[in-house]
């Protein structure tokens, strides 16, 4: 029976322990390079397969390179974590991760260990590489921006080939390479199946799936009014908002997704202050913003009561009380002065002369 395929993911912590020349490590675990440097290098510390003569199978990662840039990979495996250098027993990790050691001695070590070299590939079969420890070096040549991410190492070498009777596995290099095509496809499919739960997690689901989830909940997202983070927050709170649909709680909850500014909801009132049984006004104490206005109208219209009309008012600082102003919020009367009500104005509770 063939052995199960094991995957070793090289995450942020292991990358941070490696030697990065010309690369910086992002919070998401990506190696990023920018600037005019013409040569960037990555040396990773040993991966431990635990058992001697461990069969390493495949290295895969993702690379985004600028025009005219080249990529090179060197890999070797050994049962020994130390080697003799100038008559001194030296740890391979200490040697490779030492920034003071030049590139030529390190390249010589890879060659002496019978390394596997490849140029321009990010998916590499490690045919014939066996040993408890595995060392990886990645080199990027050329100026421009580069990103390396999602490093994975698989074992065993070829699950399909090892499942055939021994007669087919004798001197079968071509047969091994032929089956490796299907083995790689199978491993990729299996990886996607194993990650299905991430597709249903709102924190990790691909952006392209978020509109599908919104459609399941009856939310409209036409127009791309919301960015990725806002959409994820909306979906996380969608159930409680839908349960409160048509209420002040839902309106305030929708506004809170888009802004932290203080919000006030005036029911049965239009933006002119007139009483209207089916109207309500949302007051936002912040500087007017056209994009925020469009986003709020788009969402509030989906959670407001049926037949109602909404008015959005931004309470920017007012110098005069001739726009939509609220005392103690965005306006103030500094000195007592005689006041009068213009023709057509009414003291209906919204305006009070003292």
In three-state form (DSSP H/G/I as H, E/B as E, the rest C), the secondary structure along 38-54 is CEEEEEEEEEECCCCCC
Q: Residue 111 and residue 109: Cα distance in Å, rounded? A: 5
Q: H helices of 144-289, where?
A: 166-169, 173-194, 196-199, 210-216, 228-243, 248-258
CATH architecture, domain 6-157 = Sandwich (2.60)
Structure confidence at residue 326 (pLDDT): 59
Percent of the chain with pLDDT over 70: 82
pLDDT of residue 237: 92
Q: How confident is the model at residue 2 (pLDDT cuts 50, 70, 90)?
A: very low
Domain ranges of the chain: 6-157, 195-243, 260-354
pTM above 0.85, yes or no: no
Q: Looking at residues 174-202, what average pLDDT do you find?
A: 80
Residue-wise DSSP of 66-133 = -TT-EEEEEEEEES-SEEEETTEEEEHHHHHT-TTS-HHHHHHHHHHTT-EEEES-SEEE-TT-BSSE
Question: Each residue of 244-299: pLDDT tens digit?
Answer: 998 999 999 999 999 988 988 888 766 565 667 788 888 888 888 888 888 899 89
């Amino acid at each position: 029976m063939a052995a199960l395929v094991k995957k070793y993911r090289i995450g942020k912590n292991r990358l941070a322990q490696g030697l990065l020349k010309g690369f910086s490590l992002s919070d998401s675990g990506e190696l990023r390079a920018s600037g005019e440097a013409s040569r960037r290098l990555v040396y990773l510390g040993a991966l431990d397969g635990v058992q001697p003569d461990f069969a390493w199978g495949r290295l895969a990662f993702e690379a985004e390179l600028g025009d005219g840039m080249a990529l090179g990979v060197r890999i070797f495996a050994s049962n020994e974590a130390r080697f003799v250098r100038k008559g001194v027993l030296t740890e391979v990790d200490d040697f490779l991760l030492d920034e003071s050691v030049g590139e030529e001695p390190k390249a010589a070590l890879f060659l002496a260990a019978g390394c596997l070299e490849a140029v321009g590939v990010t998916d590499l079969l490690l045919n014939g590489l066996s040993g408890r420890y595995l060392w990886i070096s990645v080199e990027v040549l050329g100026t421009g921006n580069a990103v390396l991410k999602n490093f994975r190492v698989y074992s065993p070498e070829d699950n399909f080939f090892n499942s055939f009777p021994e007669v087919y596995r004798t001197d079968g290099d071509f047969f091994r390479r032929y089956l490796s095509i299907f083995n790689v496809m199978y491993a990729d499919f299996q990886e996607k199946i194993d990650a299905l739960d991430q597709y249903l997690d709102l924190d990790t689901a691909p952006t392209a799936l978020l509109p599908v989830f919104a459609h399941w909940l009856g939310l409209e997202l036409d127009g791309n009014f919301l960015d990725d983070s806002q959409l994820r927050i909306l979906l996380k709170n969608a159930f409680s908002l839908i349960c409160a649909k048509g209420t002040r709680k839902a309106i305030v909850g929708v506004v809170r997704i888009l802004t932290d500014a203080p919000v006030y909801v005036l029911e049965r009132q239009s933006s002119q202050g007139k009483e209207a049984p089916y109207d309500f006004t949302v007051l936002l104490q912040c500087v007017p913003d056209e994009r925020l206005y469009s986003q709020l109208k788009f969402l509030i219209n989906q959670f407001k009561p049926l037949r109602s009309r909404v008015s959005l008012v931004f309470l920017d600082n007012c110098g005069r009380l001739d726009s939509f102003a609220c005392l103690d919020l965005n306006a103030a009367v500094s000195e007592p002065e005689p006041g009068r009500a213009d023709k057509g104005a009414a003291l209906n509770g919204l305006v009070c002369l003292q």
